[in-house]
Amino acid sequence: MKFFTKFTAIFLVMTALLSVFCLTPVFSAGKLTYEFKGDERDKAGFAEGKITLSSVSDGRYKLYWADNKKALDGFYEIASLNVKGSASFNFKDHNAIPANATKLIACAGDNTSVSSAAAVYDIPKSKQLKYKSADANYSFMSYSDIHIDRADSQYYKFSELHFKKALETAERRKTDFIITAGDNVTNAEGPGAEFDKYQEILSDSGYTGYVYEGGGNHELRTGNRKTLLSAFINATGLDSKDETIAKNKPYYTFEEPKTGDLFIFMALEYKYNPQEGDEFSKKQLDWLERVLKKNYGKNKNIYLIEHALIESYGAGDDEDNYYTVPLSPKYKSTVRFRDILQKYPELIWISGHTHIAFKYGYNYSNMSDTSCNMIHDSSVCCPTLLNYNSHNLSYAAASDEDKKDLTEGYYVQVFDDASVFYGENLYHDKIYPSASYIVESCRKTYKKTADGDTSITASKGFVFGTVDDIISYAEQVFTLPKSLKCENITDKDIDDLSKKSKKLLNDLYTFSSYDSYINLKRAVKNAPDSKDKNKTYRELSDAYLDFLKYTRRGNVTVYFTNTKKWKNVYARLFSSKSDNGKNGEKMIYVGRDSDKNKIYKIDVNYHQYNQVIFTNGTSDHISETQTLSGEDNKLFYLNGYDPSSPYYVYVRDYKG
């Protein structure tokens, strides 16, 4: 009997313990409340509101977005709360509830599972973003202020490392394309070598999507404004086609192919300091208004990419004025630009310029519903930090080893009825919840292309007559692939052609057909995984030849007026990758000008060479270095009248 009584007692104790551990959820003690606020408090995906944690032991807790099992992968904590009775955190206007988030959890330690959380809040179905990440129509990365810097000072110490990290992040996320909001290079000593390095990093990366660049103030920093704009046009992405180069127009648009969404790229046009003048020509602003009138309200999202923010206006600066060189409203072009923004409230303007780090929360505004949606980017190169004592921005992250892993940009997912901008650390590929924003879509429907169709058609506009024409043309530059028939191909054949293709991409990464560039880069990337050797080699050789022919389309004729009466005239052509010899190439005499000065010419492939020095064939008499662009028939001549600067080069159009 005693044994039975003792056994019964033990059984009852065990049952009680099991009921504590198995039947009572461990998170039930804590309480999370969420009071949604703002004009969008009833809309799905909008996070603005107050979160309060209570009914837990005093101490430090971290808040996370979570799915039904654990905190979302790839996200930092929302906030760290020091609880004494209770503590709160506030999401701001247009902050986003991310795709895949169904819960909000508070965790006291490193375990971020829902089952171990101190408190759990179930996000109402009506507030959850109704899409999963996989439902996005398309995605892109939004970067600004990359600042590739080749000056000896290396002020932006980590610019090359951070650009590589940004491209790696874009590749891991499999984004469709990248946009940049300007200051792609620092341009401390002219843009040539820096754009070379920018494109070399892009070429060497594994990223095979498009890159579309906007023009900032640093693109205008050193040298002649027109020459600098030409260098930007020639050096950057998809818009660098022959017809655009010929127009010398640094602003353009592109249309996302699946949805028809429009991306408008503007460019600063005046000078390095936007505080000192009208940065937009009347021609550019007229063009902007025409594009907006034609496309606004036509069932598409419109994104405007323009580098510099406006003083005391909108995201990045608004009322606090930490930044000292924004666009000045003292000038007519700034005022007109601001008026345009106010006329199109559903427009999404993406800017850069301040570098301000995401953690300060200055990255969204619509000026209390009086203007468009303004999204402000941080910086790939070096986010700036607030210096509260002197009320300015610190560039400590530019060269401080402790800030080496600080590089920021947006990962953007576009859904049927919303665009979500996830602010993230690109070094660690991790998202900041409080720097993530949501904007409602202007698009109700769209026609989706076939799933998985990410192919790019071969470039148009250049036609060869026969295979023999291709061979004779291509062999002027690079060795042709083994066989145009592509039969009985071996692994070595594929490996050899891949190496040649990589060299082609590396040596001639300035291009006039971005389609052909991307085709070749993708073919190289896909070659090792293919099982059909003949097909792989054929696709790779087709892409190789298609890119090769466009590298030969970059020829321009450069003229030089011999005002110094040199016996012979040579052109020393070079880039960061190659040159045409120590003394250069002798130029060809073509005639005389009205002052009886002899005129010489040389044909230059500006994809291979982007700088020139004119000389008499020795190192004793040389001109200043000139940056070449895609402009044909340019006449260079030396200053023959100013003895203080006898080798300064002037440029004008050659009329013949």
For the stretch 599-615, pLDDT in tens is 999 988 776 787 888 98
Tell me: pLDDT of 643 over 60. no
Tell me: pLDDT of 68 over 60. yes
Tell me: pLDDT of 466 over 60. no
> Could you tell me if 285 and 340 are in contact, meaning their C-beta atoms sit under 8 angstroms apart?
yes
pLDDT confidence band for 422 (50 / 70 / 90): very high
Tell me: pLDDT of 23 over 90. no
Distance CA 231, CA 606 (A): 10
For the stretch 92-117, pLDDT in tens is 999 999 999 999 999 999 999 999 99
- Among 73-82, 86-95, 317-326, 337-346, where is mean pLDDT lowest? 317-326
Tell me: pLDDT of 124 over 50. yes
Distance CA 187, CA 563 (A): 30
For the stretch 362-392, pLDDT in tens is 899 999 999 999 999 999 999 998 887 777 7
Name, of 194-198, 471-475, 523-527, 617-621, the range with top average pLDDT. Answer: 523-527
The predicted model gives 389-406 an average pLDDT of 84
E strand map for 595-656: 598-605, 611-615, 626-627, 634-638, 649-653
The domains found in the chain, sorted by start residue, are: 23-122 (2.60.40), 136-440 (3.60.21.10), 467-553 (no CATH), 555-653 (2.60.40)
Q: Which of 285, 390, 297 is nearest to 338 (CA)?
A: 285
For the stretch 239-255, pLDDT in tens is 455 555 566 678 888 89
More confident residue, 556 or 41: 41
pLDDT of residue 425: 97
pLDDT of residue 42: 94
The predicted model gives 210-232 an average pLDDT of 77
pLDDT of residue 532: 85
DSSP-based three-state secondary structure for 328:
coil
Residue in this structure with the two tokens 């309480």, named with its chain if needed? 31
Tell me: pLDDT of 655 over 50. yes
- Among 56-65, 100-109, 229-238, 583-592, where is mean pLDDT lowest? 229-238
Q: What's the CA angle centered on 239, arms 137 and 544, to 5 degrees?
A: 90
Residue 303 to residues 5, 424, 436: CA-CA distances in angstroms?
77, 20, 17
The full 3-state SS of 455-487, as one line of letters, equals CCCCCCCCCCCCHHHHHHHHCCCCCCCCCCCCC
Residue 466 to residues 355, 462, 470, 484, 552: CA-CA distances in angstroms?
53, 13, 7, 12, 17
Distance CA 364, CA 314 (A): 8
Buried b (16+ CB within 10 A) or exposed e, 364-377: bbbbeeebbbbbbb
